[in-house]
Structure 1
């Protein structure tokens, strides 16, 4: 069974990278372009902390989908998500709430560690990183 699944690991890595980038990209689109209309992101200004996060998610999420500079992009996004968790979820309440289930920070933690994994694993075989390295 391990050999059957191990054969698909490189492709699964590329798919994981693409989906992670797509999910981050959608947050960027919602924050910057207000589409789809999400009430929480309706009043986000571009020159604010959430606006800057949206710009990062939009641009770097697209780069992650393409697999372009995967390792540094994923590392930056992991840091952004860690920052988002502590600033936007833990200290958002009157008193610090550390449990992600209570502070709605589960997605930030998942994105943080997903991107941290991608920073160490790379983009996989279906990525611009791989295409660029083959031409050298």
Structure 2
């Protein structure tokens, strides 16, 4: 069973990346434009407007799997900043200070820094052509067999 699960790892990572990045980009659009019932930040307002730009742009890059690792690293760092600067001063634990989304996005994006884009990412096209994209692991290169 482990071998079968290992062969699907790139697809699971790819789906994880897509879902997390879509939610992250929507969070940025909500803060940046007031979309989805959110409240927009005034242009240039520190730190909210800049965080929203990172969320939207970083989320879209991670969503399509383009420059996944650097975009996820910057996104993770922005969420760590949000947690420690905005939420943590109110209480220690995320459940107490409303920082659960920031903590979850921070750790999810950090995971993508180490796993890469998985399947379905534009980064894989660069790697397949021998370009400068991220390197695929042996598990990612194996075809899925039934």
TM-score w.r.t. length of structure 2: 0.83
Cα drift, residue 125 of structure 1: 2.5
Q: CA–CA distance in 1 between the matches of 2:43 and 2:18?
A: 25
**3-12 or 73-82, which moves further after superposition?**
3-12
Q: CA–CA distance in 1 between the matches of 2:56 and 2:110?
A: 18
Match of 2:11 in 1: 11
Q: CA–CA distance in 2 between the matches of 1:107 and 1:27?
A: 10
Q: Trace 1:56-67 onto structure 2 (pairs within 5 A).
A: 56-67=54-65
Cα drift, residue 74 of structure 1: 0.6
Q: CA–CA distance in 2 between the matches of 1:105 and 1:5?
A: 33
> Would you identify which runs of 4 or more consecutive aligned residues in structure 1 move more than 6 Å?
none
Match of 1:32 in 2: 32
Cα drift, residue 4 of structure 1: 3.2
Aligned length: 129
Match of 2:144 in 1: none
Match of 2:138 in 1: none
Unaligned runs of 5+ in 2: 131-146
Q: CA–CA distance in 2 between the matches of 1:17 and 1:52?
A: 22
Specify which structure has the higher proportion of helix. Answer: 1
Cα drift, residue 46 of structure 1: 2.1
Unaligned runs of 5+ in 1: none
Cα drift, residue 20 of structure 1: 1.1
Q: Deviations over 1:5-40 (max 9, x none)?
A: 2222110000111111101100111111111222xx
Match of 2:42 in 1: 45
RMSD: 1.2
